[in-house]
Chain A
Amino acid sequence: MDNSASPLIEIESLYQIFGSSPESVLPKVKQGMSKSEVLAETGHTVGLRDINLSIRRGEIFVIMGLSGSGKSTLIRHFNRLIDPTAGKIKVEGDDILTHSAKDLIQFRRHKMSMVFQHFGLMPHHCVLDNVGYGLSIKGEKREVWAEKAKEWLETVGLEGYEDQYPSQLSGGQQQRVGLARALCTDAEILLMDEAFSALDPLIRYDMQSQLIELQKKLQKTIVFITHDLDEALRLGDRIAVLKDGEMVQVGTPEDIILNPVDDYVRDFAKDVNRAKALKVSHIMSSKEQQVRDCESVDDLHDTLSTSKAVIWTKAGMLQGVVTARSIEACQNGSTDSPIEHTLSVNEGDYLQKVLPLALSSSNSILPVLNEENQITGCLTHLELANALSPKELEA
C-alpha cells in the first residue's frame, strides 16, 4: 500500500448535459447559467456540473445526495455506462474516455466491477452462474470460475444456494449474490450504486457490517453511492455530497458533521445520531496543557493551582487524573490516593460508547489513549456537549 496516497481515480471538470445537442449548451453551463435557466432556455437538463474528484487506492469513497442529485449518473461515468459531455476520467492516470470499444471492454472486465440497487442479476441463470458471470464472459473455463464462484458464495454466506435461481432468493440474499459476483472478478475497483438501499434496515445494517469486514481483508477501492447519511458515515473514509449535479462538499465523515459548508449539508447532518457517527479522536483537545509527566504527585502542585485537573503520567505511563480536590482529600485522610480517577477512553471509540464513562467522571477530564496505550489527547465534558449539540442546531 505504499502508493496509497496517489489517487487511483481522478475525475476532472466533468459535465453531463442531457438533451438533443448537449455540446451547444455546454458553454452556457460553463459560464454558470443555473440548471433551471438552462432548462427554460434550451430544454436541456444539466445532470452534472464541474465535478472534480480524486479517489485514493484502498478507500471507501461515498457519494451522497438526494434522489435527482445526479449520484447514479455520476457513478455510471466511472465505467462509461454513460459518457460525459465534457471532462476527464482518469484511472491510474489513463483517461478512459480515450479507450476504444475494445479497450473499454477489457477495462471493464479487469479493472472495475459493479453492484446495482436492484441487484441486476440474470434471472435466467442460477446463482452460481450469476456469480461467475464476469469470469465466464472473459472466456474462462467453467471448472476454473465455478470454483472461485463457490468460494465467494461461501464468503458472503450463501453456500448451498448454487443451483437456485435469483427469483427464489430474498432481497438480501440476492444482493449478496450481487456482491459475490462483483468480488469474483478480482477487480480492484468496486462500484456500488445504492447497493443496500432496496433492503430493509436490519438486513442493510448486516450488509454494511459484512462490507466493512470484507474491506478490512480485501482493501479494494470502493465507490459507494447512497442517499442515507448514516450509511455514508458508517462506511465512508471520505464522503462527497452532491446537490443538483454539483459537488457541494468533499471530506471525512467528521468534516461533514462538524464543518458543513452550507445549509444543504447542514440539513443532511442534522438528523444524524452524532454519538454514533463521531469518534473521540474527532473532538478531543490536544494533550499539551493537561498532561504532566513527573515522578511524584507532589510535583504537580504548581500546575494544579492554575488548572483544575491534570493527567499525571510517570515515564510516559498513565497514572491517573489528579485534581486539587483529590490531593486535598488525600492529605485530609479521607481517601488513600491523591488520584481522582484512573479512567481513560480510546481515541477510536464512538462517543456513544464513552458517554456513560465520561458522565461518571464527575467534572474532570478523561485521558484519551491510542491503540498503543499512549496518551494522544484529552476529553472534557464541554467538548462532549459541544459535539453532541452544536449551537447552530439549537436555533
Chain B
Amino acid sequence: MSDHSWLTEFPDMSRRELLGIRKALDGTYRDFSRAYGDQIEAFFDPLLSFLIWFENLLLHTPWWLILGFISALVYFLSRSWKLSLGVTVSLLAIGYFGMWEDTMRTLSIITVCTFLSIAIGVPIGILMARSNRAQSLITPLLDIMQTMPAFVYLIPVVMLLGIGKIPGLIAVIIYAIPPVIRLTNLGIRLVPQETLEAATAYGATPTQRLFGVQLPLAMPTIMAGINQTIMMALAMVVIASMIGVKGLGQPVLKSITNQYFTLGLLNGLAIVALAIMFDRVSQSYAKRAQRHLGDNQNG
C-alpha cells in the first residue's frame, strides 16, 4: 500500500456509492408514497374533516361569543378573575390589531394537536412505565423526535401527504408529543412504592391500580408534560406554516421573507399571548386539582 492518503483524508465512500444509496432510498420511499399515499391520506380524512369543522366553528362563530366562551372557560378552570380578565384583554388586543382570524386558526390546530398528543402520548407513557423494555426502546425514539431538525422529518411527511393541514398537524405532534410521554412515564414511576403495594395488597386489579392510584398520583407530573407539549406545539406554528398550515405562523413567515418587522412582532406577540394563556390556565387548573397534596399540612 503505497497510497497513504487515508491518513490525511477520511476514507469515505465514493460519491457514486453514496448517490446509489440515496437514489435507492429515495426511490423506495417515493414508490411507497405513490403506492400507499392515497390510502394513508384517506386514513387521515376523518381527522382532516374534524380539523376543518373545528376551524370553521371558531371562525364563523361571532367573535364576542367566542371571547365570552373562552373567558368563562378560563374562569371555570382556574377560578381566578385576574386570569380571566387578562385573557379577555389580550384577545381584545389581538382582535383590534386584525389578527383574530389567524389566531382562531392557530388556536384550533393547537387545541387539536394538544388533545391528540394527550390521547396518543399518555397511553405510550403508561406502556413505558409498565415495561422497562418498552422504555428502553421508546426513549431513544423520543430523543430523535426532539432533536432531529423539524425540517428533516417534514420532507417525508410532505412527500407522503403533500402540503396542508394534516402534514402540519403530524409535524407539530412529532415535535410536541415527547414531553407528555416522558412525564407520564416519569410520573407513574414516581408513585410511592408503598401506596401501590397497599393497593395491590387490598386486591386491586391492574386496571384499578392504574386509574385509582397511578394516574391520579402521577397527574401533577403529567400536567407538567401536557403544559410543555402545548408550549412546544405553539413553537412549531411558524415551521408548520411553511407547509401550508394557516394561522399566526404565515404572517411571521411573510415578515421574514419581506423584512416586515412590525408585522412579525405583532404576530409573534399574539403567539406569546396564546402560549401564556394556555400555560397559566393549565397550570392553575393542575394546582387546583392537586390541592390535597400540599398546601394545608398541619402534621
Contacts and interface: CB of A to CB of B under 8 A. Distances in A.
Contacts of B195: 120-123
19 contacts: A81-B200, A110-B203, A113-B201, A116-B194, A117-B194, A122-B195, A122-B217, A123-B292, A124-B217, A133-B199, A133-B202, A137-B204, A137-B205, A168-B299, A170-B299, A173-B299, A181-B202, A185-B202, A191-B201
Interface of B: 192, 194-195, 197-205, 208, 212-213, 216-217, 292-294, 296-299
Contact of A109 (B202, B213, B294, B299): B202
A157 B200 CA distance: 27
A247 interface: no
Nearest to B195: A120
Contacts, number: 85
Interface residues of A, number: 37
B88 to A, nearest CB: 33
Which of B208, B293, B299 has the most chain A CB atoms closer than 10 A to its own CB?
B299
Interface of A: 76, 79, 81, 105-110, 112-114, 116-124, 126, 133-134, 137-138, 165, 167-171, 173-174, 181, 185, 191
Nearest to A82: B197
A124 B294 CA distance: 11
Nearest to A173: B299
A125 to B, nearest CB: 9
Contact of A120 (B194, B203, B293, B296): B194
Q: Which 10 A-B pairs have the closest CB atoms?
A: A109-B203, A120-B198, A108-B203, A120-B194, A114-B201, A134-B202, A170-B299, A165-B292, A124-B216, A105-B203
B240 to A, nearest CB: 37
A81 B201 contact: yes
B193 to A, nearest CB: 9
B202 A108 contact: yes
Contacts of B212: 122, 137
Given A122-B195, A124-B292, A137-B208, A167 B297 contact: yes
A168 B197 CA distance: 22
Contacts of A107: 203
Contacts of A106: 203
Which of B203, B294, B298 has the most chain A CB atoms closer than 10 A to its own CB?
B203
A168 B296 contact: yes
Given A105-B205, A122-B213, A137-B208, A167 B292 contact: yes
Contacts of B297: 167-168
Contacts of B217: 122-124
A171 B200 CA distance: 22
Which of A113, A122, A126, A185 has the most chain B CB atoms closer than 10 A to its own CB?
A122
B259 to A, nearest CB: 54
A116 B299 contact: no
A138 B299 CA distance: 31
Contact of A81 (B197, B208, B216, B293): B197
B196 to A, nearest CB: 8
B299 A169 contact: yes
Given A121-B198, A137-B203, 19 more contacts: A81-B200, A106-B203, A107-B203, A110-B203, A114-B202, A116-B198, A120-B194, A122-B199, A122-B212, A123-B292, A124-B217, A133-B198, A134-B203, A137-B202, A137-B205, A137-B208, A137-B212, A167-B294, A167-B297
A165 B194 CA distance: 17
A122 B195 CA distance: 6
Contacts of B202: 108-109, 113-114, 133-134, 137, 181, 185
Contacts of A76: 197
B299 A112 contact: no
Contacts of B194: 116-120
A46 B198 CA distance: 25
B299 A167 contact: yes
